[in-house]
Chain A
Amino acid sequence: MSIIVKPGTRLHSAVCDGQLIVVRAPTEPVELTIGGVPALTAPGDAAEKARQGHDGGTAVGKRYTDGAAGTIELLCTKPGEGVPALDGILLEIKTPKPLPASD
């Protein structure tokens, strides 16, 4: 099930309390899952169970991207068990570019 997302869209999980917010996204519809189950754009009741391999957990403040392609970036605002995936492929944690604390 494809959904249209844009920067600022909140994504809820059908498998846990986790929440992510879209930082960057393609304009066309995307096949996004959290915990292996389609991501929700409104709060649900988290009744589903996370699929195997998609249950490694998310951490607040981490950014999840599709690696080198860099077409999508999600920011975790609330942690959960379910990991986000695009077209069935798990998103990776983006390594921060170290910048000195300027303020």
Chain B
Amino acid sequence: MHLATLVEMIESGYPDRVLVGGGPGMPLDGSDIGDTVRRGATTLAGYSSVVYVGENQARLPCLVLSAVWAGVPFVPLNYRLEDSALQCLIAAQDNSVVIADRRSASRLGQRATIIDDWLRGLTTSPPRHEPADNPDEVAILLHTSGTISAPKAALLRHRHLMAYLLGSVEFGSAGPDEAALVAVPPYHVAGMANMLSNLYAGRRLVYLPRFSAESWLRTARAEGITHAMVVPTMLARIVDHLGGATAELPALRSLSYGGAKVSERVIRDALAAFPDTDFVNAYGLTETASTIAVLGPDDHRAAVAAEAPEIARRLASAGRVLPTVDVEIRDEAGEAVPLGVRGILHVRGDQISGEYATGSLLDAGGWFCTRDQAMVDEDGFLFIDGRADDTIIRGGENIAPAEIEEVLLGHPLVAGACVVGIPDEVWGQRILAAVVPASGATLTAEEIQSTVRERLRGSKTPDLVVFRESLPHTETGKLLRRVVAAEVAATKPSLVQS
């Protein structure tokens, strides 16, 4: 199936319903979008890709869907990249049309068309009536966040994204009063999925150009937002901004979060700050066309209320895998392991792309190796320990850094924590914890070590502790362990010895 079908459906299903609100030339209902997209497609047809450099904005859905209708891959780039990195990614797209917001366009010179001008010019552009219809063509090309290595260009074909929509969203399921706040940037898979699934459900899209806790709360209030999706750093900042007060957003029915590991403390604080809101944790990767597992509102409530540790710990799980996705946990030899045993998460299904510009990584059976260390419990709840590549092997024992970080983040005076393995002649690797103390707090290495020793077994106690003012993250909140590890490697071990 092709994403152009989505355009036809919102046209015939929501002709008079406002689907995109806010900003000049808005709002747009289903008919407006259909008309704009046909004209927009005429201007984009013939190019090999449509590159977008800029912030989130209400003009985006028409640009993306015009590219879809024309059958031209849409390539959103991270506008925060340095000029040279950005130019390099643009140069990699042959025969592309570059569209940018005003601010980014000024950096790109003659090469870019400002999105406002593009949209305004469409009134004189003739409509292209026939939609593209090859489901095997690339719909969206996204650069993965590159926590392990350099960013890779992941390819999402029309059939992957349509499979995701058909498998997880019901057309027309949103009431006419519902509105979704899009805060995740367009170059992130969640930003793209957020747009497509809300349009399909019939929910009005409201865009937040750049995130701050204050502007998010203000916009949610002003626009009567009923649904929102955030990445963990955003959730942590909102909770921080509220400082123990409740959010006062009675209209907000659903708040979903995902995109990186979130600390259990942040979730518990968030649940208290949004007492009337349903929480959803979504787990997915760029290569899986967004969400593949969901921890729903009832799961959250059950985990918070539970006394039994095996239920309570589900608050930190990724929930249950979608019925349309097959899952297998495999050991290092590639053999499937039973429920409750840790291994590497493999997934298969119509929405799983597992493909990069350099080739497909799907195995002969169609499985994609996520490189995430994971476990599925007896009731089907998926627990993600972190990237397999981050696993520390100390004296032959596999240690997931995320588990130690979670313990450290539970300490009231710890604002940030990053655990990495550093080379050691005796142990193979030893455990180093880089800790950011809460503002004004003083901590000692011994306090950090005893905090871990009290909760986890002795072999997981950090051998070395360093204190830092901040930790490097990707824009969407993923901790960049490899950067911390590289910085430590460049330092003399004697300086970091606790």
Pair count A-B, CB < 8 A: 76
Which residues of A pack against B, CB within 8 Å?
7-8, 19, 21, 23, 59-62, 75, 77-79, 96-97, 99-103
Whether a CB of chain A sits under 8 angstroms from the CB of B361 is no
Cα of A102 to Cα of B355 in the assembled complex, Å: 23
Q: Which residues of B contact A21 (CB under 8 A)?
A: 1, 5
Whether a CB of chain A sits under 8 angstroms from the CB of B229 is yes
Known A-B contacts: A8-B1, A75-B1. Give 19 more (CB < 8 A).
A60-B12, A60-B13, A61-B171, A61-B172, A75-B5, A75-B166, A77-B8, A78-B12, A97-B323, A100-B280, A100-B297, A101-B201, A101-B254, A102-B197, A102-B256, A102-B258, A102-B282, A102-B294, A103-B197
- Determine the residue in chain A with the shortest Cβ distance to B171: A61
B residues contacting the other copy or chain, number (CB 8 A): 38
Chain A residues touching B, majority SS: loop
Whether a CB of chain A sits under 8 angstroms from the CB of B170 is yes
CB distance from A11 to the nearest CB of B (A): 13
Report yes or no: A77 in contact with B294, Cβ–Cβ below 8 A.
Answer: no
- Determine the residue in chain A with the shortest Cβ distance to B195: A103
Chain B residues touching A, majority SS: mixed
Residue from the set B5, B135, B323 with the largest chain A CB neighbour count within 10 Å: B5
- Determine the residue in chain B with the shortest Cβ distance to A78: B12
Report yes or no: A61 in contact with B13, Cβ–Cβ below 8 A.
Answer: yes
Interchain residue pairs with CB less than 8 A apart (16) = A7-B135, A8-B1, A8-B133, A61-B13, A77-B9, A77-B12, A99-B322, A100-B294, A100-B296, A101-B280, A102-B197, A102-B256, A102-B280, A102-B294, A103-B258, A103-B290
Cα of A96 to Cα of B296 in the assembled complex, Å: 17
- Determine the residue in chain A with the shortest Cβ distance to B190: A103
CB distance from B5 to the nearest CB of A (A): 6
- Determine the residue in chain A with the shortest Cβ distance to B14: A60
Which residues of B pack against A, CB within 8 Å?
1-2, 5, 8-9, 12-13, 133, 135, 166, 168-173, 190, 193-194, 197-198, 200-201, 227, 229, 254, 256, 258, 278, 280, 282, 290-291, 294, 296-297, 322-323
Report yes or no: A103 in contact with B172, Cβ–Cβ below 8 A.
Answer: no
Report yes or no: A61 in contact with B256, Cβ–Cβ below 8 A.
Answer: no
Cα of A19 to Cα of B194 in the assembled complex, Å: 27
Q: Which residues of A contact B193 (CB under 8 A)?
A: 103
Report yes or no: B171 in contact with A103, Cβ–Cβ below 8 A.
Answer: no
Q: A8-B133, A61-B171 are in contact. Are A103 and B291 (CB under 8 A)?
A: yes
The answer, among A19, A61, A77, for a CB contact under 8 Å with B170, is A61
